[in-house]
Chain A
Amino acid sequence: MNNIITDKEFTYLVKEIINYEKEFESNNKIGPHDIKVKIKKLIDEEVE
């Protein structure tokens, strides 16, 4: 994977992104930009 975050943190990111994408798929009020902002915020929190 990489040496910046731990495996546990990586798995957490994968799970959260999948959950966001599932929400994106079922809710047409969420746009691609909203998803990108959410994912970016998530990564900011994990890496910083």
Chain B
Amino acid sequence: MLIKSIEMVNFRQFINEKINFSIESEKNVTVIHGENGTGKTTLLKAFDWVFYGNHNLFGDGKEKLLNKSIVRNMMNRETIDMKVEVCFIHKNIEQRLCRIQTYERVNNKVVPKESNLKIESKDKNGRWESITTATPQNHIDRIFPKSLSSYFLFDGERIRNLGDNNREGKKDIKEAISTVLNLDVLNNSVKHLKGVIKEYEKEYSPEFYNKENNDMISDINAKESELSIIIETIRTKENNDDLYKDELKKLSDQLISFEEVKKYELEKVGLEGDLNSHQISKENLISQYKKLFNNNSVGILGESLFAATRKYLENFELQDGVIEGISGKAIDQILEKKECLCGESIESGCRIHNALTELKKFLPPENYGVMVNGLLKNISSLHGKKEEYSLEADRIYNELLALQIEIDKTSNRINEISDYLETNDSETIKNIEKKRKNIVNNCTSLSIEIDQLKTKELVLKAEIKEQKNRLKEVELSNSADQLIQRKIEVVESLILYFEDFYDKQESEVKSHLQDLVGNIFNSIMTKDYKISFDEKYNFYVKDNNSEDITMSEGEKQITSLSFISGIVNMAKDSDLNKRFSSITDADSTEIYPVVMDSPFGSLDNKHRKNVATEIPKLSRQTILFASSSQWEGEVSRAILSNVGKQYKMVYEDDVTKII
């Protein structure tokens, strides 16, 4: 999709303005600049309104969308239309979408009346014709779904959230990945397939519903209900945890704004980052130890038994040189079928027949030599594991010990700083720190509750699985019931497939996004920082010594732009989309424009220039809003050769003109 133009009539401060956008491939950027308050954000929101009819663009409903001076001058019972029309090219066909909202003055109030949405396409003779194959909104939802639009329409607040790595920012990244993988479609598939199982269960004959089976089904249903409540509770609690984390960040920023405690709070923030890394390292060491124990415990615990077995068996002469894993029973079956595995026929008395009969004498059940040899080999492979285990276990133990000392030291210093802040002379600082401490305590309790719920979730899932397997093992005499059971089995395989598909793909897409963001970030930054995500979409920026760094406002802005670029690239990356389209018939070749508001906010001149150089590469078409001061100088010099169209917005008496 390429946007050709947008026309706004009576929409907020735009009385009658039309903007034509550049659709050239070389000069792919359209710049609209103006002083603050001229309506750049309103223009971005006009896209949201015309495509999706979102009335709550400014948080105050559709009443506030009509131009203020029009509202003031309307006569009683007079009606007036507000309109936004967007013209675009989709799959080489020019189309235009027009949304109109009518208003009427009724005494002192201007009230919204009917609204109308029209979609037309241009035929080869240049005539506009209505599209009738779907309702206008369904047509738009199909070619430019709202979920996808979030990749391409970026307002200033969203850009800030991405850089701050707050709850909204993390949600944004998560949703972007979900959209690329069509998570809604996969989730709905699972939900509906579970419903299909319930439908099939109703079709079982009365003889299936004996007391035992009935009890099992009721128990499974009760456990499934409990499980869905637990999953929902975990989600709510994780959401609350994110809210607490955002609040903690705000309180920390407040403390940093006090010059007298700035140094201490910055030290505390750094230490908290260290503590987090230490905790992750500790968890890694513990899982390394668990793995080590699981792989070696048999050899260590059974060492003396294995030594005695070896000594005892060494006294016997054992037949060797026979293929392991074959039994005499298998040879019998081959001889009975009179056909070798290679397809050659085996007649009694022939060479192969004789060789197989001879081989049988050395195989179980006639001879156990080959099995004992196998056992001896396994025992030998376990010999010496105790020493290897001890060395590795010592290493892990010593590292854990050193890490725990660091954790205690870091925690003590954090507590010291916190106590210092809590006893500060300033009441404001004291109160902020007290509030912060309370929230930290709440976070700790919440995290324990979440862990407990997650354990319960695992237990319930295992119990449900076991009971379902027991139900599957019920012998069915009725053929109709057997058919239903087979169908349920197919549905269960489909559910497993959809659940696995998302989990496997999510981690790949996440690491792909991490690489994309890292590459763009490094190409803009002059420092060599690395970006990485954890499983909750928190991102960490580290320097080349792998130390966490606290970013300046400008660096945060670059991070968010790197995310935007990464998200846009991810969405248009055909290989990535093919992951999903390989199992659907989805079209993954569509391109979309990027529309972004004020991406240069807190950057210094050098970084502005670097960011500006990246902007034309974001998409086939980029529409950029910037304040005049941001646009002039470095930015315009860096990007001008890619600018196809350029406009200036001027605001006067509630009206914006585009020049």
Structural contact, A4 and B142, CB atoms closer than 8 A: no
Query: 13 A–B contact pairs at CB < 8 A?
Result: A1-B493, A2-B490, A4-B486, A10-B494, A14-B497, A15-B583, A17-B494, A22-B584, A25-B188, A35-B192, A39-B192, A44-B487, A47-B487
Chain B: number of interface residues, binned into ranges: 20 to 34
Q: A-side interface residues toward B, CB under 8 Å?
A: 1-2, 4-5, 10-11, 13-15, 17-19, 21-22, 24-28, 32, 35-36, 39-40, 43-44, 46-48
Looking at B182, B189, B498, B585, the one whose CB has the most chain A CB atoms below 10 A away is: B189
Rounded to whole Å, the gap between the CB of B169 and the closest CB of chain A is: 26
Q: A15 to nearest B CB, angstroms? A: 6
Q: Known pairs A10-B490, A26-B138, A39-B193. 7 more at Cβ < 8 A?
A: A14-B497, A18-B189, A18-B584, A19-B584, A26-B142, A35-B192, A40-B200
State in angstroms the CA–CA spacing of A47 and B626 once bound together.
Answer: 60
For residue A34, which residue of chain B has the nearest CB? B192
Q: Decide if the interface of chain B is mainly helix, strand, loop or mixed.
A: helix
Which chain A residue has the least Cβ–Cβ distance from B494?
A13
With both chains docked as a complex, state the minimum distance between the C-beta of A37 and any C-beta of chain B, in angstroms: 8
Asked if A36 and B199 make an inter-chain contact with CB atoms under 8 angstroms apart, the answer reads yes
Pick from B196, B483, B490, B584: contact of A15, CB under 8 Å = B584
Q: Is the CB of A4 within 8 A of B138?
A: no
Q: 8 closest pairs, A vs B, by CB?
A: A2-B493, A18-B584, A21-B185, A36-B195, A47-B487, A4-B486, A40-B196, A21-B188
Beyond A21-B189, A39-B193, whether A26 also contacts B497 by CB under 8 A is: no
From residue 135 to 192 of chain B, which have CB atoms closer than 8 A to chain A? 138, 141-142, 145, 182, 184-185, 188-189, 191-192
Q: How many A-B residue pairs have CB under 8 A?
A: 78
> Which chain B residue shows the least CB distance to A17?
B189
Is B494 touching A14 in the complex (CB atoms < 8 A)?
yes
Per-residue CB contact flags for chain B residues 477-490 toward chain A (1 = under 8 Å, else 0) read 00000010011011
Q: Given the complex, which residues of A lie within 8 Å of B138, measured CB to CB?
A: 26-28
The CA-CA distance from A28 to B193 in the complex, in Å, is: 19
* Contact partner, B195, options A4, A21, A24, A32, Cβ 8 Å: A32
Q: Which residues of A contact B189 (CB under 8 A)?
A: 17-18, 21
Q: Is the CB of B494 within 8 A of A24?
A: no
In the complex the two chains form, what is the Cα distance from A6 to B141 in whole Å? 35
- Minimum CB–CB distance from B2 to chain A (whole Å) comes to 22
Chain B residues in the interface with A (C-beta under 8 A) = 138, 141-142, 145, 182, 184-185, 188-189, 191-193, 195-196, 199-200, 483, 486-487, 489-491, 493-494, 497-498, 583-586
CB nearest neighbor in B for A32: B192
Residues on the B chain within 8 Å of A25, using CB: 184-185, 188
The one of B192, B483, B494, B497 that contacts A36, using a Cβ cutoff of 8 Å = B192
Given A1-B493, A2-B493, A13-B490, A39-B196 contact (CB < 8 Å): yes
- Alpha-carbon separation in the docked complex, A32 to B178 (Å): 21
Residues from chain A with a CB closer than 8 A to the CB of B487 are 43-44, 47
Given the contacts A32-B195, A36-B196, A43 and B490 also touching, CB distance less than 8 Å: yes
Q: Which residues from A are CB-within-8-Å of B191?
A: 32
A26 contacts B483, C-beta separation under 8 Å: no
Chain A residues in 8 Å Cβ range of B196? 36, 39-40, 43
Shortest distance from the beta carbon of A12 to any chain B beta carbon, whole Å: 10
By a CB distance below 8 angstroms, the chain A residues around B145 are 26
Give Cα distance in the complex from A14 to B500, angstroms.
Answer: 13
Bound Cα distance from A27 to B142, whole angstroms? 9
Residue of B nearest to A18 (CB): B584
Q: How far is the CB of B328 from chain A (nearest CB, A)?
A: 28
Bound-complex Cα distance A28 to B483 (A): 33
CA distance A24 to B142 in the complex (A): 12
Give the CA-CA distance A47 to B141 in the complex, in Å. Answer: 35
CA of A10 to CA of B489, assembled, Å:
12
Minimum CB distance partner of B141 in chain A: A26
Q: Which among B138, B191, B195 has the greatest number of chain A C-beta atoms within 10 A? A: B195
List of B residues within 8 angstroms of A24 by Cβ = 188
CA distance A26 to B145 in the complex (A): 9
Q: Least Cβ distance of A42 to chain B in Å?
A: 9
Residue of A at shortest CB range from B581?
A18
Chain A residues positioned under 8 Å from B182 (CB to CB)? 18, 22
Do A47 and B490 form a contact, CB below 8 Å, given A18-B583, A32-B195, A36-B192? Answer: yes
Residues of A contacting B491 in the complex (Cβ-Cβ under 8 angstroms): 43
| B486 and A10 form a contact (CB under 8 A) | no
A26: chain B residues at CB < 8 Å are 138, 141-142, 145
> Would B200 and A22 count as touching, CB distance under 8 A?
no
- CB nearest neighbor in A for B200: A40
In Å, the complex CA distance between A22 and B200 comes to: 24
Nearest-Cβ distance from residue B596 to partner chain A, whole angstroms: 27
Contacts of A39 in B (CB 8 A): 192-193, 196
Task: Give Cα A21 to B192, complex, Å.
Answer: 9
Q: Which residue on B lies nearest to A39, using beta carbons?
A: B196
Other-chain residue from A22, A36, A47 in contact with B185 (beta carbon distance below 8 A): A22
B residues near A10, Cβ cutoff 8 Å: 490, 493-494, 497
Q: Which of B188, B193, B483, B583 is in CB contact (< 8 Å) with A47?
A: B483
In Å, the complex CA distance between A39 and B584 comes to 16
The reply to whether A19 and B494 form a contact with Cβ atoms under 8 Å apart is no
Closest residue of chain B to A28 (Cβ to Cβ) is B138
Give the distance in Å from the alpha carbon of A4 to the alpha carbon of B193 in the complex. Answer: 17
Chain B nearest CB from A8 CB (Å) reads 13
A34 → B minimal CB distance (Å): 10
A22 near B586 with CB under 8 A, answer: yes
Note all chain A residues with C-beta closer than 8 A to B192: 17, 21, 32, 35-36, 39
Residues of A with C-beta under 8 A to B188: 21, 24-25, 35
The complex places the Cα of A44 from the Cα of B193 at a distance, in Å, of: 13
- Cα A3 to Cα B387 in complex, Å, equals 46
Q: Do B585 and A19 touch (CB < 8 A)? A: yes
User: How close is A14's CB to chain B, nearest CB, in angstroms?
Assistant: 6
Query: With A and B bound together, what is the CA distance between A40 and B490 in angstroms?
Result: 11
Assembled-state Cα–Cα distance A46/B494 (Å): 13
**Which A residue's beta carbon lies closest to that of B145?**
A26
Min CB distance, A25 to chain B, in Å? 6
Q: What is the minimal beta-carbon distance from A13 to any residue of chain B, in angstroms?
A: 6
Q: Which residue of A lies closest to B142 (CB)?
A: A26
CB distance from A39 to the nearest CB of B (A): 5
